[in-house]
Amino acid sequence: MLLRIAAVVMVTLAACNSSDAANSSDENSPDPSGWRTASGKAPTKAEFAALAATCQDQKNDGSVDACLVELGLKKAQ
Protein backbone atom coordinates (compact mmCIF):
# COMPACT_ATOMS: atom_id res chain seq x y z
CA MET A 1 0.00 0.00 0.00
CA LEU A 2 2.81 2.38 0.87
CA LEU A 3 4.44 1.75 -2.52
CA ARG A 4 1.22 2.69 -4.33
CA ILE A 5 0.94 5.96 -2.40
CA ALA A 6 4.59 6.76 -3.12
CA ALA A 7 4.07 5.99 -6.81
CA VAL A 8 1.00 8.27 -7.01
CA VAL A 9 2.89 11.07 -5.27
CA MET A 10 5.86 10.69 -7.64
CA VAL A 11 3.65 10.72 -10.74
CA THR A 12 1.76 13.76 -9.45
CA LEU A 13 4.97 15.66 -8.77
CA ALA A 14 6.36 14.75 -12.17
CA ALA A 15 3.18 15.95 -13.89
CA CYS A 16 3.25 19.24 -12.01
CA ASN A 17 6.90 19.77 -12.81
CA SER A 18 6.47 19.12 -16.54
CA SER A 19 3.47 21.45 -16.80
CA ASP A 20 5.45 24.20 -15.06
CA ALA A 21 8.29 23.75 -17.53
CA ALA A 22 5.91 24.02 -20.46
CA ASN A 23 4.36 27.20 -19.07
CA SER A 24 7.66 28.83 -18.18
CA SER A 25 8.82 29.37 -21.76
CA ASP A 26 9.74 32.96 -22.41
CA GLU A 27 6.83 34.84 -23.94
CA ASN A 28 9.28 37.26 -25.54
CA SER A 29 11.14 34.57 -27.43
CA PRO A 30 11.21 35.18 -31.17
CA ASP A 31 9.30 33.03 -33.62
CA PRO A 32 11.69 30.83 -35.63
CA SER A 33 9.49 30.78 -38.71
CA GLY A 34 10.45 33.32 -41.31
CA TRP A 35 14.17 33.40 -40.52
CA ARG A 36 16.85 32.23 -42.95
CA THR A 37 20.59 31.75 -42.71
CA ALA A 38 22.99 33.52 -45.04
CA SER A 39 22.75 30.55 -47.40
CA GLY A 40 18.96 30.97 -47.62
CA LYS A 41 18.11 27.82 -45.67
CA ALA A 42 15.92 27.83 -42.60
CA PRO A 43 18.00 27.34 -39.44
CA THR A 44 17.51 24.14 -37.48
CA LYS A 45 15.60 24.39 -34.22
CA ALA A 46 18.85 23.96 -32.30
CA GLU A 47 20.64 26.66 -34.31
CA PHE A 48 17.80 29.12 -33.88
CA ALA A 49 17.44 28.36 -30.18
CA ALA A 50 21.16 28.96 -29.64
CA LEU A 51 21.12 32.26 -31.51
CA ALA A 52 17.94 33.43 -29.78
CA ALA A 53 19.37 32.53 -26.38
CA THR A 54 22.51 34.49 -27.18
CA CYS A 55 20.44 37.52 -28.09
CA GLN A 56 18.26 37.24 -25.01
CA ASP A 57 21.32 36.94 -22.76
CA GLN A 58 22.83 40.13 -24.14
CA LYS A 59 21.83 43.19 -22.19
CA ASN A 60 21.48 45.81 -24.89
CA ASP A 61 18.87 48.31 -25.96
CA GLY A 62 18.25 46.63 -29.34
CA SER A 63 15.54 44.13 -30.03
CA VAL A 64 16.07 40.39 -30.33
CA ASP A 65 15.25 40.64 -34.04
CA ALA A 66 18.03 43.17 -34.57
CA CYS A 67 20.43 40.93 -32.69
CA LEU A 68 19.49 37.93 -34.85
CA VAL A 69 20.24 40.00 -37.95
CA GLU A 70 23.63 40.94 -36.47
CA LEU A 71 24.34 37.23 -35.92
CA GLY A 72 23.73 36.44 -39.59
CA LEU A 73 20.05 35.57 -39.88
CA LYS A 74 17.72 37.42 -42.18
CA LYS A 75 13.96 37.65 -42.49
CA ALA A 76 12.48 35.54 -45.25
CA GLN A 77 10.39 37.34 -47.79
Best CA proximity match to 73, nearest among 28, 49, 26: 49
Domain range summary for the chain, segments of one domain joined by +: 33-77
* CA distance linking residue 56 with residue 64, whole number of Å: 7
Residue type, 57: D
* Residue 1 clears pLDDT 60, i.e. is over it: yes
pLDDT tens, position by position, 46-71:
999 888 888 887 766 678 888 888 88
**pTM for the full predicted model:** 0.56
For the chain, what percent of residues have pLDDT higher than 70?
Answer: 62
pLDDT tens, position by position, 11-47:
666 666 544 444 444 555 677 888 998 888 888 889 9
